[in-house]
Amino acid sequence: MSDSHLDSAVQAVLQDVMEAEYPVLLDTFLTDSEERLRLLHKAERAADAQALRQAAHSFKGSCSNMGAPLLAGLCRQLEEAARREQLSQTAELIEQIEREFAIVRILFRAERQRYRH
């Protein structure tokens, strides 16, 4: 896996802890992330700084837990922009989050393929 997008040490710990449930964890993260992106877009369209902050915070946490540091960092930037109500920056940050998530999704799907029987 690409260490710039995914933290291999976190991945190794998750694999050890989750064992046979690791593929389910990957699937759940990908599904949840799609919903989180939808919520980011919805809050951004509504110019709802509070909802945007909460959605970014939640996404940041799951990205951190799954070992996606660049994605978590972008979510942190979005969370901070929303906290300061600097909504002029949010569309570009969401775009960057989507681009990084597209890379992470490919890497996790490739990882998931290793567990197919």
Q: CATH no. for residue 68?
A: 1.20.120.160
**Confidence at residue 2, expressed as pLDDT on a 0 to 100 scale:** 57
Range of 13's domain?
8-113
Nearest to 71 by CA among 47, 87, 94: 94
Which among 61, 62, 71 has a CA at the least distance from the CA of 103?
71
Residue 114: the pLDDT is 87
First to last CA, the chain: 20
Asked whether residue 12 is assigned to any structural domain, the reply reads yes
Query: Which residues fall within 8 angstroms of residue 72, CB to CB, at 6 or more apart?
Result: 60, 63, 64
Q: Looking at the domain assignment, is residue 61 inside a domain?
A: yes
What are the pLDDT tens digits along the chain (117 aa)?
456 899 999 999 999 999 999 999 999 999 999 999 999 999 999 999 999 999 999 999 999 999 999 999 999 999 999 999 999 999 999 999 999 999 999 999 999 998 875
Quick check: is 1 in a domain? no
Whether 2 maps to a domain, the answer reads no
Give, in degrees to the nearest 5, the angle at Cα 8 between 39 and 63: 15
* pTM for this prediction: 0.93
Instruction: State the total domains in the chain.
Output: 1
What pLDDT was estimated at residue 115? 81
DSSP state, 19?
A: G
**80 assigned to some structural domain:** yes
With respect to residue 47, please indicate whether it lies within any of the assigned structural domains: yes
Predicted pLDDT at 3: 66
Question: How far is it, in rounded angstroms, from Cα 117 to Cα 112?
Answer: 11
